[in-house]
Amino acid sequence: MLETIGKILFVLIVVMGAFLPMITWVERKQSAVIQDRVGANRADIAGITVLGLLHPLTDVLKLFAKEDFVPEGANRVMHLLAPVIALVPAIITLAVVPFAGVYDFGGEKPFSFVVADVDWGMLYVFAVGSIAAYGTILSGWASNNNWALLGSLRASAQMISYEVTMGLAIVGLFMCFQTLSLQQMSLAQDSTFRLLGFLEHFGLFETLPAWLSWIRVPTWGIFLQPLGFVMFLTCIMAENKRPPFDLPEAESELVAGYHLEYSGMRWGLFYTAEFLEVPVIGCIVTALFLGGWSIPYLDTQTLISGIGGTFGEGFATGLTLVLHVHAFLAKVIFMIWLQMLIRWSLPRFRYDQVMDLCWKIMLPLSLANVFVTGAAILWLKELGA
Amino acid sequence: MNVELVLFYAFAALAVGSALAMVMNVRNTVASAMSLVITMVALAAVYVLMEAHLVAVLQIMVYGGAIVVLFVFVVMLLNLRQDTFPPARQRAAKALGAALVVLAIVKLLSLMPGALPDAVADLPEGFGGYRDVGTALFTRYVLPFESTSLLLLSALVGAVVLAKRRLD
């Protein structure tokens, strides 16, 4: 019980306390760098600006000070509820994200650094994600505004479409790792394989020469399922509704889309949900495709025995845990950077382009990916590899 | 009373209550649809209490997430009001609905032969997980499974044909 509460606190402090305030700053500064500007640097306390790091604070102060307005003819209850429905799924998705591996501290059960280590973790992510659509849909409908309604119609069509492809895009990954649990997948990615090992089966080499055997690649999802990675990242970014997929709020067509009639802190909740999803997406993509908490070429056992030789087993396990948490967060920060780069590099797609991309390109590709992966796995089994 | 029983009654009451709210609410169709979502989620919770984890997650994912979102989508597009249906058709629909409810209740009562057993069955390892359900679906029940997907496919094609004719 205490262990679970500790994990929940850790996750909340890291993601809500550190990532969330920083990410608005990262967005401002990274966009500034991309567009050759200085970026936010004015907010100060007694003349100290600390690189514009105080801007998130002033944002929140401003949002709290603004009037919280419900338009005439709006459905009051749903108008109040919608931002909460949008925000909560983003937070509770973190329950199945493994921030570090499984460690044996000599207790009854080995310590697994994930709040809920369930067997169907990835299905939980999908289920929670599908509920998140209601926040967007209800906000537009409850606002009694045609622009907002159009925005939420677009959002619901977009989110349902990309949910289908998102699920199919990682079926290949499930087949490779034979599990749906994010912790089990991360554990499976904590090793390496010989890149050219398959040459032995073609009769090119009896056994691979030593210098070629040295070329090893981590068994990360991105190396096993490169196409799956690209498609999953595209779909999950489309679910997030940030540019280039921000059709539901396209300001040049729909004024502000589904959150047009929101102001003050309740608009801020939509904003928070959208921003919070960026590190959450980072966490999920890292756990699925970037090896999770694992350090490439240094698996857990090597690490523990390496440090344990001089400092003792217990200390080594603890230090490994800390290193793994840092490796995970470093990968998440990389994914945040990548998402920001995409967001500020690509212009908004047209609506038919977004739908064509989903149904005409990615859906057939993801199905093909499933078949090819299945055939490859069967073939490798035949070869006895 | 143990915790599971308390939770069961809580979620069962929520499911029944929100289902009633869905059919009673005739003024606001979107609110009805949202009541349906609450029913689906409460049912999923009941499935979790029955150790059917996969069915519970699929319930939220497919019914709570995708299908009701489509309902809401259509409702918002059409903006249905009560007076869209002529009163004569409404009366017929209500009579048919009442008859079906009576039939369902009679069926349910005939399925309940007295008191429920007290004992709890021992569940095999991995019961209700995706491995077991998947294996059962693709081995023992593969024919019903595939014919259901064929049925859905034909419904899909039929819907496209009908919609296309109206568009052209």
Per-residue confidence (pLDDT) for residue B17, from 0 to 100: 92
B72 vs A contacts (CB less than 8 Å) = 134, 137, 141, 156
A162 touches chain B (CB under 8 A): no
User: Distance from first CA to last CA of chain A, Å, rounded?
Assistant: 42
**Could you write out the DSSP letters of every residue in B76-92?**
HHHT--GGGS-HHHHHH
Highest mean pLDDT among A152-161, A367-376, B3-12, B111-120: A367-376
Chain center to CA of A335: 8
Q: Which of residues 177-196 of A touch B (CB under 8 A)?
A: 180
Range from A99-113, A161-175, A334-348 carrying the lowest mean pLDDT: A99-113
Q: Distance of CA B52 to CAs A222, A242, B64, B123, B124, Å?
A: 32, 36, 17, 11, 12
pLDDT tens column, A300-332: 777 777 777 777 777 788 888 888 889 899 999
Q: Where are the beta strands (DSSP E) in chain A?
A: 102-103, 111-112, 192-194, 216-218
pLDDT tens column, A204-236: 666 777 777 777 888 888 888 889 899 999 999
CB contacts < 8 A (A, B)? 72
Per-residue confidence (pLDDT) for residue B132, from 0 to 100: 83
Residue with tokens 């034909």: B154
Distance between CA atoms of residues B53 and B23, nearest Å: 28
Measured in angstroms, the CA of B95 and the nearest CA of chain A are apart by: 32
Q: Using the beta-carbon criterion (under 8 Å), do B130 and A133 form an inter-chain contact?
A: no
Q: What is the mean pLDDT of residues B28-34?
A: 81
Per-residue confidence (pLDDT) for residue B85, from 0 to 100: 63
Distance between CA atoms of residues A330 and A332, nearest Å: 5
Q: What is the mean pLDDT of residues A259-273?
A: 84
Asked whether residue A47 carries a pLDDT value surpassing 80, the answer given is: no
Distance between CA atoms of residues A19 and A22, nearest Å: 5
Q: Is the pTM of this model over 0.90?
A: no
- Which positions ≥6 away from A206 have C-beta within 8 Å? A200
Per-residue confidence (pLDDT) for residue A29, from 0 to 100: 87
User: For A192, phi and psi rounded to 5 degrees?
Assistant: -130, 165
Task: Sort strands A192-194 and A102-103 into parallel, antiparallel or unpaired.
Answer: unpaired
pLDDT band at B82 (very low <50, low <70, confident <90, very high): low
Q: Which of B35, B37, B48, B69 to mutate to test the interface with A (most CBs of A within 10 A)?
A: B69
